Amino acid sequence: MVENPLFFKVTAEEEGQRLDGYLVEKNILPSRSQVQRLIEEAKVKINGFPSKASYKIKALDTVSIEIPEPSESVLRPEDLPIDIVYEDEDVVVVNKSAGMIVHPGAGHKHHTLVNALLFHCKFLSGVGGVLRPGVVHRIDKDVSGLLVVAKNDQAHLALSAQFKTKTIRRVYKALVYGRMESQHGSFDLPIGRHPIHRRKMSTHTKRGKSALTIWDVVTAYDQMSFMKISLETGRTHQIRVHFSDAGHPVVGDGTYGGKNRAKHLIDPKLKQAVEKLPALLLHSENLTFQHPTTQKTVSFEAPLPSYFQDILGILNE
């Protein structure tokens, strides 16, 4: 269990944020609503006194938060096939298949990665709450590749701190439409909830959070580009939004314009293969972090899924 309470000292750079937003950024709890509930229950204090969610934090403020002991999980362990790349007493590194949701949510209570891990591991960190045990970060449902899951609270907090300080390295491979204007580049545009389509994210929002995506062209084809992408931040749909807004949607991405483009492909064999894709062509290939117990840097790789390799094979013919 996490020892209560946890303490944070506000820095000069953090001054001026709302209290609830500040704590959300700390990745202690998975959602703003849970943070706000703890604030309402007076389990969050500023310099020893209860405060409001809207309080603007000041430099040198001491913020304390009492994390309640996790309730008994209401999730059902399920014997689902998962590809475990590495496991020890603290962490599990999984190569998630496209189509699998990471954790239960509205309308998705079963058949998630968390359900599968509860069957395999029996115990996961309780910091994320009863619906997100062990979940330190996520990958979109239709994206494949690596993510790390915490098996205990200490590992969870240590990994969350690395995400906060941006010391965890995540490298993706993607196939996008069009040819990039240069061999290397980056997208540095804030991302937030789409002002009209609430299930989508967008760079055209007044309340976006900073998002930095760094990219290199691995191979340029006539109508597509094979990309290596590094994330400096972890916003929802970050890669998909940034590339789509730049006019280069990820191949197969129906949400951000990567499906309709298939009809413009010249090669009939490539066009047919792309139209039959089971998922978008975005894969978390490499994950590097400091192990929460040994403090050693560990790195893992996951090969591209077969349907991704098949498309590259056609392009290279």
Any idea which residues carry the catalytic annotation? 140
Helix (H/G/I), strand (E/B), else coil: 118: helix
CA distances from 140 to 18, 171, 240, 282, 284 (A): 28, 15, 10, 10, 10
Which helix (H) or strand (E) is 65 found in, with range? Answer: strand 62-65
> Mutual orientation of helices 268-275 and 306-315 as an angle, nearest 10°?
170
Task: Give the separation between CA 138 and CA 71, rounded to whole angstroms.
Answer: 22
CB of 185 closer than 8 Å to CB of 215: yes
State how far the alpha carbon of 281 is from the alpha carbons of 101, 142, 144, 161, 228, in Å. Answer: 17, 9, 9, 30, 12
First to last CA, the chain: 55
Gap between the Cα atoms of 143 and 278, Å rounded: 11
**DSSP conformational letter for 10:** -
